[in-house]
């Protein structure tokens, strides 16, 4: 009976195809192809791919534009400090992880075996989401789709079928990810780990989850998340002291930093620094990077600013920091003076006391939300993002093997597009084979960035959730701030004219 049915269905299918072809003989002659013919098509396409020149390497020190930006219009340059001016070596991840892990055991009374869990570098990437309800770490794309193959419970990958069973869909509702702003901002079930300090934090979260699962210890994912966050967060003062005492071990040297600031000052630009870090820590790093007189470069220095509150709150007094007493003074701040260290305050006060408004200000930060989102959305400042991972991402893009895979993936996909409507058994067979090959190439291309989570910027062909936000809030982005030395202070950055889906296939280039 079952066999009969199958036969009948396939006969019906063939009849259907024949009737379509009968009506359109021209269609028949071009589309009914034997299996061999599909092999021929594949070979032809492959030969075209081999004859194509690979794209030129991407400049590792390039500054890339998401939006047009004319530096000649910018009179004021603002900077965040951590991971914008001061970039840290891998040692810092080990330090933060160890401090957080030990604090979990000592302060939060987690099992003492956790102290034996060591940090593994390059396991996580920034921009991942952690589901505080389900205890999963995963990567989302700009359409809020889960990138299958990047969902982890602890250090264990969750199979695709289980992911689909848990979420019932590959697309996650926006309220689940971002919360319902009309009800409560804390109604979201996911948190995104978007700064570089969160890379060791995510590993700690993953490895403790793994420990609990393997030892069948019941835990609440949200409590674990909050504890790990607090353990790492409360380790920052200790981290500041250790890094301050051993700057060479933790901060990447950058011999161009001083020249970078000198050039801006001699072009009559105003400079300011707004950082969440404390003065003693910033002072040591800046002295290491730019020399004892680093403060001379800046017209305004604000420490412990508590971003993003600094950018969002309406009133919070700006205070003066007394270096000798390591404390603040009670004086009312009515003007901003060069050489004085301020702390807290709001961007409104900064703007009112300096007259630095709108598109004349260009602010650089590494955090797309807490540094860049509000200044661009609320205050119309121009923005630059410093994304250290670009170095690794561009290195990967410049790898010849990767270029070939990317190129062939495109061509194979277009071949599949071309034949998908043939609807014959032979074409279906070819499609299945090619689809398998396509999946293999995509997996290879993902793993070359990071074995677990792939690229910070892409989930296969789509941009990640992280990069969509980045391109929305940053006018320009680059791997390190001193890359700007490769461009004049009057340079205009033009975004590439990207091709929209309904436009021409080529880029005219």
Q: Which residues bind Mg ion (CB under 5 A)?
A: 80, 82-83, 366
Based on C-alpha coordinates, what's the Rg of the chain? Answer: 27
Q: Between vectors from CA 202 to CA 198 and to CA 204, what angle results, nearest 5°?
A: 115
Is 80 an active-site residue?
Answer: yes
Q: Which is nearer to Mg ion, 83 or 288 (CB)?
A: 83
Torsion region of 440: left, alpha or beta (phi above 0 gives left; psi -120 to 50 gives alpha): alpha
Angstrom distance (rounded) from CA 476 to CA 393: 17
Q: How many Cβ atoms from other residues are within 10 Å of residue 276's Cβ? A: 22
Q: Between vectors from CA 192 to CA 188 and to CA 194, what angle results, nearest 5°?
A: 150
Backbone φ and ψ for 466, nearest 5 degrees, come out as -60, -45
The residue from 22, 39, 82, 374 that is catalytic is: 82
Query: Would you say 227 is a known binding-site residue?
Result: no
Q: In Å, what is the CA distance from 332 to each residue of 134, 153, 313, 351, 353?
A: 48, 51, 18, 17, 13
Angstrom distance (rounded) from CA 150 to CA 157: 7
Q: Give the SS3 label for residue 308.
A: coil
Q: Which is nearer to Mg ion, 84 or 427 (CB)?
A: 84
Q: Which is nearer to Mg ion, 83 or 466 (CB)?
A: 83
Shortest distance (Å) from residue 82 CB to Mg ion: 4
Q: Are 284 and 248 in contact (CB under 8 A)?
A: no
Shortest distance (Å) from residue 367 CB to Mg ion: 5
Query: Would you say 80 is a known binding-site residue?
Result: yes
Shortest distance (Å) from residue 199 CB to Mg ion: 13
Q: Which is nearer to Mg ion, 82 or 141 (CB)?
A: 82
Shortest distance (Å) from residue 185 CB to Mg ion: 22
Shortest distance (Å) from residue 447 CB to Mg ion: 29
Q: Which residues of 492-509 are buried (b: 16+ CB within 10 A; e: fewer)?
A: ebeeeeeeeeeeeeeeee
Is 82 an active-site residue?
Answer: yes
Tokens of 18: 């024949």
Q: Which residues pair with 395 in a beta bridge?
A: none
Shortest distance (Å) from residue 270 CB to Mg ion: 21
Q: Which is nearer to Mg ion, 87 or 419 (CB)?
A: 87
DSSP state of 388: T
Q: Are 490 and 72 in contact (CB under 8 A)?
A: yes
Q: Which is nearer to Mg ion, 142 or 391 (CB)?
A: 391
Beta-strand pair 69-70/492-493:
antiparallel
Q: Which is nearer to Mg ion, 79 or 434 (CB)?
A: 79
Query: Would you say 366 is a known binding-site residue?
Result: yes
The residue from 70, 72, 80, 331 that is catalytic is: 80
Shortest distance (Å) from residue 344 CB to Mg ion: 17
Q: In Å, what is the CA distance from 371 to each residue of 67, 305, 385, 452, 495?
A: 17, 11, 9, 28, 22
Tokens of 452: 């677990």
Angstrom distance (rounded) from CA 422 to CA 428: 8
Contacts of residue 425, defined as CB under 8 A and 6 or more positions apart, other chains included, come to: none
Question: Binding site for Mg(2+): residue ranges?
Answer: 80, 366
Question: Binding site for GMP: residue ranges?
Answer: 82
Positions marked catalytic:
80, 82
Question: Binding site: residue ranges?
Answer: 80, 82, 366
């Amino acid at each position: 009976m079952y066999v009969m049915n199958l036969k009948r269905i396939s006969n019906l299918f063939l009849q259907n195809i024949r009737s379509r072809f009968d009506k359109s003989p021209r269609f028949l002659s071009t589309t009914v192809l034997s299996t061999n013919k599909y092999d021929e098509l594949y070979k032809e396409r492959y030969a075209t791919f081999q004859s194509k020149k690979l794209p030129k390497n991407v400049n590792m020190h390039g500054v890339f534009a998401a939006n047009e930006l004319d530096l000649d219009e910018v009179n004021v340059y603002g900077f965040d400090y951590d991971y914008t001016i001061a970039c840290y070596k891998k040692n810092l991840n080990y330090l933060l992880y160890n401090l957080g892990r030990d604090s979990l055991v000592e302060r939060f009374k987690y099992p003492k075996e956790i102290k034996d869990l060591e940090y593994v570098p390059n396991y996580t990437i920034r921009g991942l989401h952690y589901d505080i309800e389900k205890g999963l770490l995963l990567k989302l794309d700009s359409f809020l789709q889960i990138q299958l193959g990047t969902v982890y419970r602890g250090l264990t990958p969750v199979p695709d079928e289980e992911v689909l069973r848990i979420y019932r869909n590959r697309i996650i509702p926006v309220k689940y990810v971002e919360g319902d702003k009309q009800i409560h901002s804390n109604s979201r079930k996911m948190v995104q780990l978007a700064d570089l300090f969160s890379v060791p934090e995510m590993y700690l979260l993953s490895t403790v989850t793994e420990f609990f699962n393997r030892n069948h210890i019941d835990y609440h994912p949200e409590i674990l998340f909050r504890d790990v966050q607090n353990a790492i967060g409360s380790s920052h003062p200790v981290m500041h002291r250790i890094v301050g005492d051993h700057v060479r071990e933790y901060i990447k040297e950058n011999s161009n930093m001083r020249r970078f600031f000198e050039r801006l000052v001699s072009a009559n630009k105003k400079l300011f620094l707004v950082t969440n870090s404390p003065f003693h820590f910033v002072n040591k790093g800046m002295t290491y990077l730019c020399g004892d007189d680093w403060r001379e470069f800046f017209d305004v220095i604000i420490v412990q600013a508590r971003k993003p509150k600094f950018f969002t709150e309406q009133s919070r007094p700006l205070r003066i920091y007394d270096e000798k007493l390591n404390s603040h003074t009670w004086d009312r701040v009515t003007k901003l003076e060069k050489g004085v260290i301020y702390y807290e305050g709001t961007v409104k006060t900064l703007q009112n006391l300096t007259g630095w408004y709108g598109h004349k200000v260009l602010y650089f930060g590494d955090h797309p939300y807490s540094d860049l989102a509000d200044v661009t959305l609320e205050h119309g400042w121009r923005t630059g993002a410093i994304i250290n991972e670009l170095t690794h991402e561009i290195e990967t893009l410049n790898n010849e093997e990767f270029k070939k895979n990317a190129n062939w993936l495109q061509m194979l996909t277009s071949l599949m597009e071309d034949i998908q409507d043939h609807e014959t058994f032979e074409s279906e067979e070819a499609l299945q084979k090619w689809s398998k090959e396509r999946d293999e190439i995509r997996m290879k291309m993902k793993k070359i960035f990071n074995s677990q989570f792939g690229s910070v910027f892409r989930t296969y062909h789509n941009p990640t959730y992280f990069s969509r936000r980045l391109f929305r809030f940053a006018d320009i982005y680059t791997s390190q701030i001193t890359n700007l030395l490769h461009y004049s202070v009057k340079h205009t950055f033009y975004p590439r004219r990207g091709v929209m889906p309904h436009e021409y296939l080529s880029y005219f280039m």
